[in-house]
Amino acid sequence: MLQQLFDRLREIYPRLVEIRRDLHMYPEISFEEVETPKKIARFLTELGLEVRTGVGGRGVVGILRGEKPGKTVALRADFDALPIQDEKEVPYRSRIPGKMHACGHDLHTAALLGVAAVLSEVKEQLAGTVVFIHQFAEELAPGGAKPMIEDGCLDGVDVIYGAHVWAGLPYGTVGFCEGYAMAAADAFEIEVTGRGGHGAQPHLTVDPLVTASQLVVNLQNIVSRRVDPLKSAVVTVGSFHSGEAFNVIPHSAHLKGTVRTFDEDVRSMVEEWIGQVVKGTCEQMGATAKYEYRRGYPALYNHVEETRRVKRLAEQLFGTGKVTNMEPVMGGEDFAYYLQKVPGTFFFVGGGNPELDAVYPHHHPKFDVDERAMLVIGQLFITAVLDYWADGKLKVEESLNRFKAQ
Ligand SMILES: [Zn+2]
Ligand SMILES: [Zn+2]
């Protein structure tokens, strides 16, 4: 079965490249996706799947019910692009000025459509249901995952898998990270208000610039003195604006920053501690402050059992030398919301290839990846689904070798 499905995936690969390149040429950025979901829905409908559009706003969900009863596995691909000018010299370069698929979501989409195409052909042999979640707006908080879940895309789902093509990994490799893999990415803003005046008469003012400077220093104590040293947290002030003239004490100062954490309790404590530091520092200096904390995506937690299972499948498919353990990254990803609801894992598929000039990082104007990563994603998704239905007892090597021997 596995070999037959993989052969079909290879046969339709040129079509997947076509789909990926079409999406690449006509990118649509987060919350502005119109044609992309239409193209996806059309493809899934032609396959005979049950298709829901407008899920949570702009999402598309395709449901493939096998003819035998079984569990429900969800597979997710995101489809939004970025507000970046494409600077690659390739025939499929973006035709839309200032917009580009610089994160590989076009490739995720085409790979998942390939999986839907291949599995729908053997519907009568499938012992379970597959839910294909095509998600809008991953790149921009509040993102598309949350509204899609609220709109029922995970209803009845037992497990979920997601993949991200990764430019930093060479093509042919797959990376896994157990437990916390990506950080919660939050933002904060503080406005310190004092009483402005003449630079020569500080005694008649409340200096917000000095207060805010003190505040930046005091905020450093949160990570160094209050967060458990065995837990991770980042508090970064990235913007500080106050005053215009050399001899004027300004009226206010503006700070902006970001907080990155993994543990939910650390996240909440940091939010609270920043508030305490703001209050304490300003009171001491006689200034007042407005503090706003905006939560981004939560941390992405890869369930241990599912991660190990899919990793073992990847080792059987591609060889142990092709599978690596990844360090957690402090970037955010709204796949985290799905994993808060159901078990599953999110893995990284190598897309780097110097021969194709696929050497630039994600969100770079020259970003590109080796398109064959679609085959890797497709094969691993298919195997993960069949193995889940087989309660983790799918005979991967046997299934492949038997066909190889013929
Ligand atoms: Zn991205
Ligand atoms: Zn991405």
Average pLDDT over residues 363-389: 97
Q: Are strands 184-193 and 233-242 parallel, antiparallel or unpaired?
A: unpaired
Instruction: Pick the ligand that lies closest to the CA of residue 102.
Output: 1
Q: Are strands 248-249 and 288-294 parallel, antiparallel or unpaired?
A: unpaired
Q: Which residues are catalytic?
A: 80, 138
Average pLDDT over residues 216-221: 97
Average pLDDT over residues 322-348: 95
Q: How many CA atoms are closer than 13 Å to the CA of 267, on its beta-carbon side?
A: 18
Does the pLDDT at position 161 exceed 80?
Answer: yes
The answer to whether the beta carbons of residues 274 and 219 sit under 8 Å apart is yes
Which tokens belong to 379?
A: 């094969």
For residue 406, what pLDDT is reported? Answer: 43
- Dist CA 289 CA 308 (whole Å): 48
Does the pLDDT at position 403 exceed 60?
Answer: no
Q: Of 170, 167, 19, nearest to 88 (Cα)? A: 167
The owner of tokens 């991953």 is: 138
Binding site: residue ranges? 103, 105, 139, 164, 363
Fold of 2-182+299-400: Aminopeptidase (3.40.630)
| Share above pLDDT 70 across residues of the chain, in percent, rounded to a whole number | 99
Taking the centre of ligand 2 as the mean of its atom positions, its distance from the CA of residue 171, in whole angstroms, is 17
Kindly write down the DSSP assignment for every residue of 281-307, as one continuous string: HHHHHT-EEEEEEE--SPPEEE-HHHH
Strand residue runs (E) in 171-221? 174-176, 179-182, 184-193, 197-198
Taking the centre of ligand 1 as the mean of its atom positions, its distance from the CA of residue 363, in whole angstroms, is 6
Domain with CATH 3.30.70.360 in the chain: 184-294
For residue 330, what pLDDT is reported? Answer: 84
Instruction: Pick the ligand that lies closest to the CA of residue 84.
Output: 1
Domain with CATH 3.40.630.10 in the chain: 2-182+299-400
Taking the centre of ligand 1 as the mean of its atom positions, its distance from the CA of residue 105, in whole angstroms, is 8
For residue 402, what pLDDT is reported? Answer: 53
For residue 134, what pLDDT is reported? Answer: 98
Q: What is the pLDDT of residues 260-314, one digit of tens each?
A: 999 999 999 999 999 999 999 999 999 999 999 999 999 999 999 999 999 999 9
The answer to whether the beta carbons of residues 107 and 351 sit under 8 Å apart is yes
Q: Of 72, 65, 116, 63, nearest to 389 (Cα)? A: 72
Indicate the class that CATH gives domain 184-294: alpha beta
Does the pLDDT at position 405 exceed 60?
Answer: no
Instruction: Pick the ligand that lies closest to the CA of residue 109.
Output: 2
For residue 13, what pLDDT is reported? Answer: 98
Taking the centre of ligand 1 as the mean of its atom positions, its distance from the CA of residue 92, in whole angstroms, is 19
Choose the weakest-confidence range: 66-70, 117-121, 277-281.
Answer: 66-70
Which tokens belong to 402?
A: 């038997």
- Dist CA 136 CA 138 (whole Å): 6
Does the pLDDT at position 99 exceed 70?
Answer: yes
- Dist CA 42 CA 89 (whole Å): 30
Q: Of 234, 287, 241, 279, nearest to 261 (Cα)? A: 234
Does the pLDDT at position 404 exceed 60?
Answer: no
The dihedral over CA atoms of 63, 64, 65, 66, expressed in degrees to the nearest 10, equals -160
pTM: 0.89
- Dist CA 206 CA 305 (whole Å): 57
354 in helix, strand or coil?
A: helix
49 in helix, strand or coil?
A: coil
Binding site for Mn(2+): residue ranges? 103, 105, 139, 164, 363
Taking the centre of ligand 2 as the mean of its atom positions, its distance from the CA of residue 384, in whole angstroms, is 21
